[in-house]
A and B are shown apart, each in its own frame.
Chain A
């Protein structure tokens, strides 16, 4: 190409405004949150982390356990859904499942919080139906609005997203190995675990890592379903700022959630690099 240099400059000029928005309104505040976590009374130190550790250790553990458990369940359910969509033998059942599973995909977290808050309450529709059907007695009805409610909300909202990615990857697989295994008499469960899942592992991991990061920073679900202690770090960050204007501890907690997400991302990258090597 003869007009390569002006072309490049034009390209950069076209991209620059959008890039500037990301850098100024995301990368800079992200950096200032990292710096702010170490800022104590004009100087720098670990004071904010010591305070976070003293006040919020149980919440930090609670957050990591809840998000990890949700990620695990999302993985299992999306493999099950994707697997049935690819290996299911009845076209009608497959079509019904394909129509069903996607509904929560675009429902915002705040709406999921409100929906499950009323559904899972002690006198919510779930317990009412179980009582009417006779599965439990009114005395056995318990509220699910604690850590279980948060896990249910996360799994309910994120499973369709990961299942959509995973089923797309599964549909793109070469069917001949599946048919060959089927002809040799392998069960569908075995085909799913030994042939299909290993081939879509990368897509599955991308979906799960993205879900993990998303769940780490959702504020509305813990606020609406369970704001009492122990709660998630996000609710603590909002509380530190609204009640005390304490940006130091808020940023320290933010950095902790960042590190947790970073660990998951690093684990994923190491895994993919090892596979490519």
Chain B
């Protein structure tokens, strides 16, 4: 590839930058245009038709979102509480399951792996509708516990699959070496396996955290109106025409997601990625 490019005369290479920049500029506009609009709305005080840009900028709506007694603060704390509980429960379920799937002999292993994929392979909406009905009978509707359970079900796919890949990518000989110098199986797991699998497990925990933070449909049926999360706040603010509050909420949801996208490759190394689904 480089030899072809180098053998070309310099001027033809420069000409190619015209269609290239137009195409790349178009892609950049398609991706960043809408995002720019969101950030503009988040710092707008007044903006109405037919003005192309906001008439007045400011942070007064941010003050309103973060005021201690506002509904927004309640959704923010709810969302973070639900997300942390979801991660704790999902990882408590996924770490043993992932270890067993990666290291122990299991009957019907492929079928078990596929079972965790079911929530991704079927449309979720009819399921949430019926979970809401089921939870209503157990008094779980409109409780934090109910919302956490719904989020865990959806997050387990990532948690189990990535945890399995993380354990599978560890060199078995390191564990055998620890066992041969007299460490118990539990101690080997705690001192050798777990630290080595930690980056992959952290990645799956972040995945679950983001899934929970961003989840709308399940929270809409199981949580609303008692447990308000940030996506629900975004929806009600936007439906009420309050674009500033909606956009600020959207920015708050956006930052962790984009941040993770930029660092994911540090956590999910290729040796773990190549084991996903095996």
A-side residues, CB < 8 A to B, are 1, 4, 7-8, 10-12, 14-15, 17-19, 21-23, 25-30, 32-33, 36, 89-91, 93, 96-97, 100-111, 113-119, 122-126, 128-129, 131-132, 138, 156, 182, 210, 213-214, 216-220, 223-224, 234, 237-238, 241, 247, 250-251, 253-255, 257-258, 261, 265
Contacts and interface: CB of A to CB of B under 8 A. Distances in A.
B149 interface: yes
B105 A8 contact: yes
Scoring B28, B129, B156, B221 by chain A CB atoms within 10 A of each residue's CB, the highest score goes to B129
A149 to B, nearest CB: 11
A118 B54 CA distance: 13
Contacts of B40: 125
B27 interface: yes
Contacts of A210: 120-121
B130 A32 contact: yes
B115 A19 contact: yes
Interface in B106-163: 106-107, 112, 115-116, 118-131, 133-134, 149-150, 152-153, 156, 160
B257 A219 contact: no
Contact of A128 (B52, B94, B122): B52
Dominant SS at the A interface?
helix
B34 A119 contact: yes
Contacts of A4: 105
A14 B99 CA distance: 8
B216 A213 contact: no
Given A30-B127, A247-B133, A257-B123, A25 B20 contact: no
Interface string B43-56: 00000111011000
A12 B24 contact: no
Interface stretch (B169-177, B195-203, B231-239): B231-239
Interface residues of B, number: 84
Contacts of A104: 31
Contacts of B61: none
Contact of A118 (B2, B104, B231, B243): B243
A221 B169 CA distance: 38
Given A22-B116, A108-B216, A118 B41 contact: yes
29 contacts: A15-B112, A18-B116, A29-B130, A30-B122, A30-B126, A32-B133, A33-B129, A33-B130, A106-B257, A108-B231, A108-B253, A109-B216, A115-B37, A119-B37, A125-B33, A131-B52, A210-B120, A213-B120, A213-B121, A217-B123, A218-B217, A219-B220, A223-B235, A251-B126, A254-B125, A254-B126, A257-B125, A258-B122, A261-B122
Nearest to B40: A125
A26 B119 contact: yes
A186 to B, nearest CB: 13
